[in-house]
Protein backbone atom coordinates (compact mmCIF):
# COMPACT_ATOMS: atom_id res chain seq x y z
CA UNK A 1 0.00 0.00 0.00
CA UNK A 2 1.61 3.27 -1.10
CA UNK A 3 0.30 6.02 1.08
CA UNK A 4 2.50 9.05 0.54
CA UNK A 5 4.27 8.46 3.86
CA UNK A 6 8.04 8.86 3.59
CA UNK A 7 9.88 7.27 6.54
CA UNK A 8 13.08 9.34 6.13
CA UNK A 9 11.17 12.59 5.98
CA UNK A 10 8.95 11.61 8.92
CA UNK A 11 11.96 10.75 11.08
CA UNK A 12 13.66 14.13 10.45
CA UNK A 13 12.06 15.45 13.65
CA UNK A 14 12.41 12.23 15.55
CA UNK A 15 12.97 13.74 19.01
CA UNK A 16 9.97 16.09 18.83
CA UNK A 17 7.76 13.28 17.57
CA UNK A 18 8.98 10.87 20.24
CA UNK A 19 8.42 13.13 23.23
CA UNK A 20 4.57 12.87 23.26
CA UNK A 21 4.81 9.07 23.03
CA UNK A 22 6.95 9.11 26.21
CA UNK A 23 4.53 11.50 27.92
CA UNK A 24 1.61 9.23 26.95
CA UNK A 25 3.29 6.02 28.11
CA UNK A 26 4.21 7.65 31.43
CA UNK A 27 0.50 7.79 32.32
CA UNK A 28 -0.32 4.17 31.39
CA UNK A 29 -0.94 2.16 34.60
CA UNK A 30 1.98 -0.03 35.58
CA UNK A 31 -0.05 -3.27 35.57
CA UNK A 32 1.07 -6.50 34.02
CA UNK A 33 0.96 -6.22 30.25
CA UNK A 34 1.46 -9.42 28.31
CA UNK A 35 0.17 -8.28 24.91
CA UNK A 36 0.21 -4.87 23.30
CA UNK A 37 -0.83 -3.41 19.96
CA UNK A 38 0.67 -0.23 18.54
CA UNK A 39 -2.06 1.11 16.24
CA UNK A 40 -0.73 3.23 13.38
CA UNK A 41 2.78 2.27 14.51
CA UNK A 42 4.49 3.94 11.53
CA UNK A 43 8.25 3.37 11.60
CA UNK A 44 7.95 1.81 15.05
CA UNK A 45 9.31 4.78 17.01
CA UNK A 46 7.40 3.65 20.11
CA UNK A 47 8.59 0.04 19.88
CA UNK A 48 11.73 0.47 22.00
CA UNK A 49 10.01 2.39 24.78
CA UNK A 50 7.12 -0.10 24.93
CA UNK A 51 9.57 -3.02 24.98
CA UNK A 52 11.59 -1.40 27.75
CA UNK A 53 8.49 -0.76 29.83
CA UNK A 54 6.96 -4.23 29.26
CA UNK A 55 9.88 -6.51 28.35
CA UNK A 56 7.87 -9.75 28.42
CA UNK A 57 4.86 -8.50 26.47
CA UNK A 58 4.14 -9.52 22.89
CA UNK A 59 4.24 -6.49 20.63
CA UNK A 60 2.29 -6.08 17.38
CA UNK A 61 2.67 -2.94 15.27
CA UNK A 62 -0.20 -2.28 12.85
CA UNK A 63 -0.04 0.25 10.03
CA UNK A 64 -1.51 0.92 6.60
CA UNK A 65 1.70 2.08 4.94
CA UNK A 66 4.09 -0.45 3.41
CA UNK A 67 6.91 2.12 3.41
CA UNK A 68 6.56 2.88 7.11
CA UNK A 69 6.31 -0.82 8.03
CA UNK A 70 9.37 -1.72 5.96
CA UNK A 71 11.33 0.84 7.90
CA UNK A 72 9.88 -0.46 11.19
CA UNK A 73 10.87 -4.04 10.35
CA UNK A 74 14.40 -3.05 9.34
CA UNK A 75 14.96 -0.80 12.41
CA UNK A 76 13.35 -3.29 14.82
CA UNK A 77 13.66 -6.84 13.49
CA UNK A 78 12.46 -8.29 16.79
CA UNK A 79 9.02 -6.62 16.51
CA UNK A 80 6.01 -8.08 14.77
CA UNK A 81 4.52 -5.87 12.05
CA UNK A 82 1.19 -6.12 10.30
CA UNK A 83 -0.11 -4.27 7.24
CA UNK A 84 -3.76 -3.55 8.06
CA UNK A 85 -6.31 -0.76 8.17
CA UNK A 86 -6.98 0.35 11.74
CA UNK A 87 -10.49 1.43 10.71
CA UNK A 88 -11.48 -2.22 10.43
CA UNK A 89 -8.69 -4.39 11.85
CA UNK A 90 -9.26 -5.65 15.40
CA UNK A 91 -7.17 -8.09 17.47
CA UNK A 92 -8.42 -11.72 17.50
CA UNK A 93 -7.87 -11.97 21.26
CA UNK A 94 -8.32 -9.26 23.92
CA UNK A 95 -5.04 -7.38 24.51
CA UNK A 96 -3.69 -5.64 27.61
CA UNK A 97 -2.64 -2.40 25.92
CA UNK A 98 -3.67 -0.57 22.78
CA UNK A 99 -1.20 2.25 22.26
CA UNK A 100 -1.61 4.79 19.48
CA UNK A 101 0.67 7.78 19.05
CA UNK A 102 -0.23 10.40 16.44
CA UNK A 103 -2.30 8.10 14.24
CA UNK A 104 -6.01 7.94 15.13
CA UNK A 105 -6.64 11.46 13.77
CA UNK A 106 -6.30 9.81 10.34
CA UNK A 107 -9.38 7.76 11.17
CA UNK A 108 -12.79 9.31 11.64
CA UNK A 109 -15.78 8.27 13.69
CA UNK A 110 -14.23 8.52 17.13
CA UNK A 111 -17.60 8.25 18.90
CA UNK A 112 -17.71 4.61 17.79
CA UNK A 113 -14.01 3.90 17.41
CA UNK A 114 -12.93 4.66 20.99
CA UNK A 115 -15.48 2.42 22.80
CA UNK A 116 -14.83 -0.27 20.18
CA UNK A 117 -11.13 -0.20 20.97
CA UNK A 118 -11.92 -0.45 24.70
CA UNK A 119 -13.98 -3.58 23.92
CA UNK A 120 -10.83 -5.15 22.37
CA UNK A 121 -9.03 -4.90 25.74
CA UNK A 122 -8.74 -7.56 28.40
CA UNK A 123 -10.35 -6.53 31.73
CA UNK A 124 -8.04 -3.97 33.36
CA UNK A 125 -6.35 -3.28 30.03
CA UNK A 126 -5.65 0.26 28.80
CA UNK A 127 -6.22 2.31 25.69
CA UNK A 128 -3.58 5.05 25.36
CA UNK A 129 -4.03 7.60 22.58
CA UNK A 130 -2.27 10.80 21.56
CA UNK A 131 -3.48 12.92 18.65
CA UNK A 132 -2.52 16.38 17.41
CA UNK A 133 -5.07 19.06 18.25
CA UNK A 134 -3.74 21.73 15.89
CA UNK A 135 -6.22 21.61 13.03
CA UNK A 136 -6.93 25.36 13.22
CA UNK A 137 -3.26 26.40 13.24
CA UNK A 138 -1.70 27.98 10.10
CA UNK A 139 0.14 24.71 9.38
CA UNK A 140 -3.24 23.18 8.52
CA UNK A 141 -5.43 26.12 7.48
CA UNK A 142 -2.81 27.01 4.83
CA UNK A 143 -3.19 23.58 3.22
CA UNK A 144 -6.94 24.07 2.95
CA UNK A 145 -6.47 27.61 1.58
CA UNK A 146 -4.17 26.38 -1.20
CA UNK A 147 -6.50 23.55 -2.17
CA UNK A 148 -9.38 26.02 -2.43
CA UNK A 149 -7.62 29.01 -3.98
CA UNK A 150 -5.48 27.47 -6.72
CA UNK A 151 -6.28 25.21 -9.68
CA UNK A 152 -4.99 21.66 -9.48
CA UNK A 153 -5.36 18.92 -12.08
CA UNK A 154 -6.44 16.51 -9.35
CA UNK A 155 -9.40 17.16 -7.06
CA UNK A 156 -7.51 17.45 -3.77
CA UNK A 157 -10.53 18.11 -1.56
CA UNK A 158 -11.32 14.45 -0.84
CA UNK A 159 -7.67 14.00 0.17
CA UNK A 160 -7.70 16.77 2.75
CA UNK A 161 -7.40 15.39 6.24
CA UNK A 162 -10.67 16.12 8.02
CA UNK A 163 -10.71 17.11 11.65
CA UNK A 164 -11.93 14.08 13.51
CA UNK A 165 -10.23 15.27 16.72
CA UNK A 166 -12.89 16.60 19.09
CA UNK A 167 -12.48 18.66 22.27
CA UNK A 168 -11.46 16.82 25.44
CA UNK A 169 -14.98 16.81 26.91
CA UNK A 170 -16.24 14.81 23.90
CA UNK A 171 -13.77 11.99 24.68
CA UNK A 172 -14.66 12.19 28.35
CA UNK A 173 -18.34 11.69 27.54
CA UNK A 174 -17.64 8.84 25.10
CA UNK A 175 -15.11 6.98 27.24
CA UNK A 176 -16.26 7.43 30.83
CA UNK A 177 -19.20 4.95 30.57
CA UNK A 178 -16.80 2.19 29.44
CA UNK A 179 -13.75 3.05 31.56
CA UNK A 180 -12.71 2.45 35.14
CA UNK A 181 -9.98 5.11 35.09
CA UNK A 182 -9.90 7.91 32.58
CA UNK A 183 -7.20 10.51 32.21
CA UNK A 184 -7.47 13.15 29.47
CA UNK A 185 -5.17 16.14 29.03
CA UNK A 186 -3.63 18.48 26.47
CA UNK A 187 -0.07 19.73 26.23
CA UNK A 188 1.33 22.46 24.00
CA UNK A 189 4.94 21.80 23.02
CA UNK A 190 6.81 24.94 21.95
CA UNK A 191 9.13 23.26 19.52
CA UNK A 192 12.28 25.17 18.52
CA UNK A 193 13.15 24.06 15.00
CA UNK A 194 16.39 24.81 13.15
CA UNK A 195 16.96 25.13 9.40
CA UNK A 196 15.80 27.23 6.45
CA UNK A 197 12.18 26.13 6.22
CA UNK A 198 11.60 23.74 9.10
CA UNK A 199 7.83 24.10 9.55
CA UNK A 200 7.20 23.13 5.91
CA UNK A 201 9.61 20.20 6.36
CA UNK A 202 7.70 19.17 9.46
CA UNK A 203 4.29 19.26 7.80
CA UNK A 204 5.70 17.63 4.67
CA UNK A 205 6.49 14.62 6.87
CA UNK A 206 2.83 14.34 7.99
CA UNK A 207 -0.29 16.17 6.72
CA UNK A 208 1.22 17.48 3.49
CA UNK A 209 2.99 14.29 2.36
CA UNK A 210 -0.04 12.20 1.33
CA UNK A 211 -1.55 15.21 -0.46
CA UNK A 212 1.56 16.08 -2.47
CA UNK A 213 1.91 12.40 -3.36
CA UNK A 214 -1.30 12.73 -5.40
CA UNK A 215 0.02 15.61 -7.56
CA UNK A 216 2.37 15.39 -10.53
CA UNK A 217 5.97 16.55 -9.84
CA UNK A 218 5.50 20.07 -11.27
CA UNK A 219 2.30 20.69 -9.30
CA UNK A 220 3.74 19.17 -6.18
CA UNK A 221 6.68 21.61 -6.45
CA UNK A 222 4.34 24.53 -6.94
CA UNK A 223 2.15 23.53 -3.99
CA UNK A 224 5.17 23.20 -1.80
CA UNK A 225 6.64 26.57 -2.74
CA UNK A 226 3.30 28.42 -2.24
CA UNK A 227 2.85 26.64 1.07
CA UNK A 228 6.36 27.42 2.18
CA UNK A 229 6.01 31.17 1.41
CA UNK A 230 2.84 31.47 3.49
CA UNK A 231 4.18 29.34 6.32
CA UNK A 232 7.38 31.36 6.59
CA UNK A 233 5.37 34.47 7.23
CA UNK A 234 3.07 32.70 9.74
CA UNK A 235 6.06 31.21 11.63
CA UNK A 236 8.92 33.68 11.14
CA UNK A 237 12.49 32.55 11.58
CA UNK A 238 14.18 34.44 14.40
CA UNK A 239 17.54 36.18 13.94
CA UNK A 240 19.13 33.38 15.97
CA UNK A 241 17.97 30.91 13.29
CA UNK A 242 15.23 29.30 15.40
CA UNK A 243 11.62 28.92 14.24
CA UNK A 244 9.20 28.22 17.07
CA UNK A 245 6.37 25.81 16.22
CA UNK A 246 3.74 25.65 18.98
CA UNK A 247 2.04 22.26 18.78
CA UNK A 248 -0.93 21.21 20.93
CA UNK A 249 -1.61 17.52 21.47
CA UNK A 250 -4.53 15.74 23.11
CA UNK A 251 -3.86 12.67 25.26
CA UNK A 252 -6.14 10.06 26.78
CA UNK A 253 -5.60 6.92 28.82
CA UNK A 254 -8.71 4.84 29.51
CA UNK A 255 -8.71 1.60 31.49
CA UNK A 256 -11.32 -1.09 30.96
CA UNK A 257 -13.09 -2.15 34.17
CA UNK A 258 -11.93 -5.43 35.75
C1 LIG B 1 2.11 10.49 12.13
S2 LIG B 1 2.39 8.77 11.82
C3 LIG B 1 2.64 8.16 13.48
C4 LIG B 1 3.47 6.90 13.51
C5 LIG B 1 3.89 6.39 14.89
N6 LIG B 1 2.75 6.00 15.71
C7 LIG B 1 4.74 7.42 15.61
O8 LIG B 1 4.45 7.74 16.75
O9 LIG B 1 5.73 7.88 15.03
C10 LIG B 1 0.76 8.21 11.41
C11 LIG B 1 0.70 6.77 10.95
O12 LIG B 1 -0.65 6.36 10.89
C13 LIG B 1 -0.76 5.46 9.82
N14 LIG B 1 -2.17 5.35 9.41
C15 LIG B 1 -2.95 6.29 8.85
N16 LIG B 1 -4.18 5.79 8.60
C17 LIG B 1 -4.16 4.50 9.02
C18 LIG B 1 -5.12 3.45 9.03
N19 LIG B 1 -6.36 3.64 8.56
N20 LIG B 1 -4.75 2.24 9.52
C21 LIG B 1 -3.50 2.04 10.01
N22 LIG B 1 -2.55 3.01 10.03
C23 LIG B 1 -2.88 4.22 9.54
C24 LIG B 1 0.12 6.05 8.74
O25 LIG B 1 0.46 5.08 7.77
C26 LIG B 1 1.31 6.53 9.57
O27 LIG B 1 2.33 5.57 9.64
User: Is the CB–ligand 1 distance for residue 206 below 6 Å?
Assistant: yes
- Cα-to-centroid distance, 197 and ligand 1 (Å): 24
Pocket test for ligand 1, best of 63, 208, 247 (most atoms within 8 A of CB): 63
pLDDT in tens, 44-78: 999 999 999 999 999 999 999 999 999 999 999 99
Q: Which atom of ligand 1 is nearest to the CA of 205?
A: 1
Its sign, for the CA torsion 101, 104, 110, 113, is: negative
| E strand spans, the chain | 35-39, 58-63, 80-83, 95-101, 121-132, 181-193, 243-255
Q: Rounded to two decimals, what is the model's pTM?
A: 0.86
Sign of the four-CA dihedral 237, 242, 248, 249: positive
Q: What pLDDT, on the 0 to 100 scale, is given for residue 159?
A: 82
pLDDT reported for residue 211: 87
Q: Residues 20, 112, 181, CA angle at the centre, nearest 5°?
A: 55
- With contact defined as beta carbons under 8 Å apart, do 21 and 28 qualify? no
The phi and psi torsions of 172 (rounded to 5 degrees) equal -65, -45
pLDDT value at residue 140: 92
Residue 21 Cβ contacting ligand 1 at under 6 Å: yes
Percent of the chain residues past pLDDT 70, beyond the cut:
96
| Protein residue closest via CA to atom 14 of ligand 1 | 40
Instruction: List average pLDDT for each run of 10 residues in the chain, which is 258 residues long.
Output: 64 78 94 94 95 95 96 95 97 98 92 98 97 92 93 88 88 98 96 92 85 92 96 95 94 97
Task: Please tell me the distance between residue 127's alpha carbon and the centre of ligand 1 in angstroms.
Answer: 16
Is residue 101 in contact with ligand 1, taking CB distance under 6 Å?
Answer: yes
Instruction: In whole angstroms, give the CA distance from residue 55 to residue 15.
Output: 23
Amino acid sequence: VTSGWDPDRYLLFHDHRLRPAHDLLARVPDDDVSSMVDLGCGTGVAFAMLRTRYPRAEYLGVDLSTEMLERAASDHPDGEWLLADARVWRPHEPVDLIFSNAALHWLGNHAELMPELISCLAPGGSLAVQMPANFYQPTHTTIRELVDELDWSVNLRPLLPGNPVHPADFYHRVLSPVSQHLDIWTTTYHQPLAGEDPVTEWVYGTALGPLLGALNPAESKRFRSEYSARIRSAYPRRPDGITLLPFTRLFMVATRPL
